[in-house]
Amino acid sequence: MSSASGLHAQAFFADFVVDPVTGVDRGSTSQIRKVEELTAVATLSSTGSEPIGRYVGSLGLSLPFGTEHGSQLDLLGVLGGPDVDGGPELRASGFGYRLGLAEGTTAYLNYDYGDYRLGTERLMPLEVKGVHKTLAVGLRHVWQLGEDRLTGSVELAAKQRTDEVLGFDVTDEDLRLIRLGLTHETGKLFGFRRRLALAVTKGLSGLGASLAENPLPSARGVTPDFLRVSFSAEVSIPLEAATYVNAGVIGQVTGDSLPVSQRCGYGTNGYSRGFDRSYVLADRCFGGRVELAHDFQPPDMSTGVLRRTQGFVGLDGGRLRNMGNPLFAGEEDSWSSASWGVRTLQGNFLGEIALSHILDKPGGSTPQDKTRLWVQAAYQF
C-alpha cells in the first residue's frame, strides 16, 4: 500500500480509470485499491463546495477473502457540511465486492447512495434536496506486458437521480448505460510513467431508463440515449535533482446533449484545480494540466515505511462546449487556474495543502472563490 500511495505523491494519476474525464459519486467504492489484509482508511478534506458541504470526511473499510484468485469487500461512509445550523449537508455510503475469476480477471459490483440538502443561508429556505443512486456491475482484465500494463473493462450501470425544491420534484431521471474502457500504463515507481486511457459510454433505452420525453431530466433537453467517447494521456517525467514534470490532457467528444452525470468534469476537479468539483462541466471538453514538482524530502524507506515530501506548482485550462437541443441553444466557454502546494507521505499518512487561483472562470450558478486554500488528508490503519 505504501508503494501505491507513493505514486500519489509523485503525480496526479487516479487509481483505476474506467472513464478518464468524469469522477465518481460520493460514497462510491470504485476507486478503492486491492489490499492484502483488513484495512481502514479515514479521510478529511476541504474540497467540497459551499452549498453541499465544504468539509468532507469519510471512513472506508476493506476486507479481503482467501479465495483462489482473491476477493474483497469494501464499505465506505461519507459526511459533508456543515450547514448554517451546524448539521450535515451531504450523507453518502456505498459498498463494493470484487471477485477474482482467473489470473488477471476480476468481476465487480458497486453500489452507492447519497442524499444532500443545500445548507447555505440563502439556499436552505428553498429546501433544495435530492437523492443519487448508482449500481454498477463489471468485468475487467489486466494484461502484464513486461513493464507495461493493459487494463480492459466492460461495465453495465444504472443511475437514478431525484431532486426537489420547496417540496416539488424538479428532477426524476433514470439512466442505463454500458461503458467500455481501455487503459495502458508503463513506467516505474519514482521514474518515468505514462498512461493512456479511452472509454466509450452508451446510454441504453428501456430496462427502466427514462423516456426521451422525460419531463424532469437533469438538464433541459438532454437525452438518455447518448453516445460519448472520452480519453486522456498523462505522463510523469523525472528530471535532475529530484524534480518531475507531470502533464496530461483530457477530452470528451459527443454529438448529444448529455445528462449531467455524463458530462466532462462531473464529480472531479482533477484538471480544474481552482474550482469546486463538477463546476467545470460540459458535454464536450478538451483540456490539460502541467505540473512542476520537486522532492524536498526524497523517497526514503530507512525507517521501514515510505516517507516523501514534495512541493508543486501547476497550471490547468481548456475549452468547454454544451451541445444544443430543441430547448437549449448550446454554448461554449473556457477555464484556467493555477495552484501551488505541498504533498507529503509519511508511512500511513498522506496529506496535501494547496493554494489555487482562478485565471479564467466559465459561467455557472455557484459562486467560486477566486483564491482558495485546499487541504486533504488520509490515514490508513
- Residues 105-156 have pLDDT tens digits of 999 999 999 999 998 888 899 999 999 999 999 999 999 998 899 999 999 9
- The whole-number pLDDT of residue 320 equals 97
pLDDT over 70 (residue 12): no
5 pLDDT tier (thresholds 50, 70, 90)? very low
What is the mean pLDDT of the segment spanning 48-64? 90
* Predicted pLDDT at 195: 92
Q: What is the pLDDT of residue 167?
A: 94
Q: Model confidence at 13, in pLDDT bands (50, 70, 90)?
A: very low
* pLDDT beyond 90 at 22: no
How much is the pLDDT for 150?
95
Average pLDDT over residues 247-260: 96
C-alpha span between 341 and 353 (Å, rounded):
6
Q: What is the pLDDT of residues 319-355, one digit of tens each?
A: 999 998 888 888 999 999 999 999 999 999 999 999 9
Quote the pLDDT of residue 26.
Answer: 83
Cell of residue 322, nine digits: 454544451
Number of domains in the chain: 1
* pLDDT value of position 17: 57
Nearest to 357, CA basis, from 344, 371, 374: 371
Higher pLDDT, 227 or 207: 227
Q: Is residue 4 over pLDDT 60?
A: no
Please write down the HEC assignment for all residues of the chain: CHHHHHHHHHCCCCCCCCCCCCCCCCCCCCCCCCCCCCEEEEEEECCCCHHHCCEEEEEEEEEEECCCCCEEEEEEEEEEECCCCCCCCEEEEEEEEEEEEECCEEEEEEEEEEEEECCCCCCHHHCCEEEEEEEEEEEEEEEEECCEEEEEEEEEEEEEEEEEECCEEEEEEEEEEEEEEEEEEEECCCCCEEEEEEEEEEECCCCCCCCCCCCCCCCCCCCCCCEEEEEEEEEEEECCCCEEEEEEEEEEEECCCCCHHHCECCCCCCCCCCCCCCCCCECEEEEEEEEEEEEEEEEECCCCCCEEEEEEEEEEEEEEEECCECCECCEEEEEEEEEEEEEEEECCEEEEEEEEEEEECCCCCCCCCCEEEEEEEEEEC
pLDDT attached to residue 174: 98
pLDDT band for 16, please (50, 70, 90 cuts).
low
- Region 158-177: mean pLDDT is 97
The predicted structure's pLDDT at residue 47: 86
Q: Over pLDDT 70: what percentage of the chain?
A: 95
pLDDT of res. 264:
95
Mean per-residue pLDDT of the chain: 90
Q: What is the mean pLDDT of residues 222-247?
A: 93
Mean pLDDT of 226-253: 93
**Top-confidence residue, 270 or 10:** 270
- Between strands 243-254 and 227-238, the pairing is antiparallel
pLDDT at 18: 66
Domain extent, residue 84, equals: 2-380
The CATH number covering residue 94 comes to 2.40.160.50
